[in-house]
Amino acid sequence: MTSKGCSENKGYGERHMRILDELSEHVMLRINSSMYTEHNSSWIEKRAHHDYDLWIVQSGTISIQMQGVTGIAQAGDLIFFSPHIPYMATTENGCSFYYCHFDFAVGNHSRVLDEFNLPCVISGSEIKDGLQWINHALDAYRAKEPMSAIRLKGCLTLLLTQIIQNSGKKAASLQQMTKPSPQESRKLDVLQPVFSYIHQHIHRPLAIRELAEIARMSEKYFITFFKKTVGITPGQYLHQHRMNRARDYLYQQKYTVKEIAGLLGYPDPYTFSKAFKKHYHVPPSKFI
């Protein structure tokens, strides 16, 4: 297999990363199970998982067949599985690996990683830091060390972040097995004009009807499509974006509360301060 598709991912992948960053407060990572397993040369596994799964190969070589394409993962490589995708895994001389079954969601969007068209077989040489972190965390979790579950969750988050970043880089030599259809993997692209419009006009009140017109959808369908694609409603996204920008403005220490309220489309400082305090549990005047 080659890294075909990585350069194509760069444009929309980077835009998707910015959106995911914007909504970091809404990201949920849950590890459902994690274990170490060994298999001999007679091992054959045919199945599909109901959640995301990540194999961290410790020894041997694994051949993985998925949607008519075959990939090879060696010790130090990773294998990524999306939910409900059938596969067959075999090994010639035996293998061992850690696996992590997990959920990764933004709000109500439980398949958000599908938007990034991540590779199936991931070369360990491209994620050295993340691989080292996750291996140490898995060893600690296997040994049932105190705080190892929280450590594993943190390291898996860092590893996934590195995988997502690399998948959007043209020069990253990641092995891409499958390429989801544009209808399934690029729903966020449909909303890119909406995101751009919000960012450019955040200084004034924005109606959902106005955003629906940008997306060329009815207001009702737009709300449904937005929530299904992003994981939260358009109104929640507007609020989150304003709160993120408010925090940035306060960090700059160049603007008064009244000026920030105006920059973010609030009718007056009181309305802004009330929204800010509800979100951050502290008024903007005492945030820093």
Contact 18, 191 (CB under 8 A): no
Using the CB atoms, write b or e for 184-200: b if 16+ within 10 Å: ebebbeebeebbebbee
Average pLDDT, the chain: 89
Cβ neighbours for 225, distance < 8 A, ≥ 6 positions apart? 187, 190, 191, 215, 217
Contact 63, 90 (CB under 8 A): yes
Q: Is the pTM of this model over 0.85?
A: no
Instruction: Please classify residue 21 by burial: count the beta carbons closer than 10 Å to its beta carbon, then call 0-12 exposed, 13-18 middle and 19+ buried.
Output: exposed
Tell which CATH architecture fits domain 191-286. Orthogonal Bundle (1.10)
pLDDT at 186: 67
Contact 198, 214 (CB under 8 A): no
pLDDT band at residue 189 using 50, 70 and 90 as cut-offs: confident
Q: Which tokens go with 12?
A: 């929309």
CATH topology of 6-177 equal to that of 191-286? no
Per residue in 98-144, pLDDT (tens digit) is: 999 999 999 888 998 988 888 899 999 999 999 999 999 999 999 99
pLDDT at 178: 44
Topology adopted by domain 6-177: Jelly Rolls (2.60.120)
* pLDDT over threshold 60, residue 193: yes
* Domain layout of the chain by residue ranges: 6-177, 191-286
* pLDDT over threshold 90, residue 167: no
